[in-house]
Amino acid sequence: MSIIRYVTGKTKLLGVIGNPISHSISPELHNTLSNYMGIDAVYVPFKVEREKLGDAVRGLKALNFKGFNITIPHKSNVIEYLDELSREASFIGAVNTVKIIENKLYGYNTDVDGFVNSFKEEAGTGFTNKKVAIIGAGGAARAIAIGVANEGAQKIFIINRTLSKAIQIRDIIISNIMPYKECPENIESFQLNDSACTEVLKLADIIINTTSIGMHPDIDCMPVPEHVEFNSNQIVYDAIYNPSKTKFLQQAENKGCKIINGLGMLIYQGIKAYEIWMDITVPKEIAREIFNEFKNYLT
């Protein structure tokens, strides 16, 4: 018989709360990270109902957790239980990472870093001086739009079925992010069915879908009309990673576009959360190796 010593009284405690939670790959990711980095920590998933969210947060705090992630449907509701928010989390209106320091809860949103780092890694380029079209206006769209603006995009087009929500993201970036606030023409909002939308998508160097349209099991759906024409000079990104190649990406690939799915964003936002909890920087070569391992694992 072997004595199991994976977890002791010195082990740092981490976790994730959400509902549902059984599908989450966060335990595999963060426990793998701890193994790579030689850190004595364990990460556990917790299914938490909405009415029990406050109890869960207080419980993790009482149990001396180092930190935890928050996933659907608690990313916005958790804010009322936190002491401070990062700048990005305030703009986005959602938190996916909490760090506990001296009995205080600090909320972060690591989707911005996760998206930017994964995109640069996989695309081999950034957003400087690029024209970027973003489809959708939810929490993921806000994070991605903030990341794109921070990285110096030349123009940003927000495209959504409900125009008012796209305008909200435009206003957040103009007021808080864009380095030249006197130039609001750098970011524009469009309704998805607007005739101008098709032309905007043709103009874009990079097209990003942030919606869940096309996600399993609705794999025959597209976030844009099927007549939209891609061109081979474009990079087309879909925040969905299941399926690994949505119909949206398949059509773009058929036109010669470089395509990227959302797995990298998922992995890199998790790595950023781990860096926040542990006050470390995960070396790029380790981050890249972990991403490649999970890409193979999930495929």
Count of CB atoms situated within 10 Å of the CB of 283:
11
The answer to whether the beta carbons of residues 273 and 110 sit under 8 Å apart is yes
- pLDDT recorded at residue 183: 45
Domains of the chain: 12-109+264-298 (3.40.50.10860), 112-261 (3.40.50.720)
Question: For this structure, is 75 an active site residue?
Answer: yes
CA dist., res. 22 & res. 5, Å (int)? 25
- pLDDT recorded at residue 223: 92
Nearest-CA neighbor of 144 among 269, 33, 46? 269
- pLDDT recorded at residue 6: 85
Cα within 13 Å of Cα(143), Cβ side: 27
Which DSSP string do the residues of 123-146 spell out, in sequence order? HS---TT-EEEEE--SHHHHHHHH
The answer to whether the beta carbons of residues 45 and 16 sit under 8 Å apart is yes
- pLDDT recorded at residue 185: 58
List 12, 66, 75, 295, catalytic entry: 75
Q: Give the pTM.
A: 0.89
List per-residue pLDDT tens for the chain, 299 residues long. 788 888 999 999 999 999 989 888 999 999 999 999 999 999 999 999 999 999 999 999 999 999 999 998 999 999 999 999 998 899 899 999 999 999 999 999 999 999 999 999 999 999 999 999 999 998 899 999 999 998 989 999 999 999 999 999 999 888 876 655 444 458 899 998 888 888 899 999 999 999 989 988 888 999 988 888 899 999 999 999 888 999 999 999 999 999 999 999 999 999 999 999 999 999 999 999 999 999 888 77
- pLDDT recorded at residue 178: 61
Q: Which amino acid is at 236?
A: V
Cα four-point dihedral sign 172, 193, 154, 113: positive
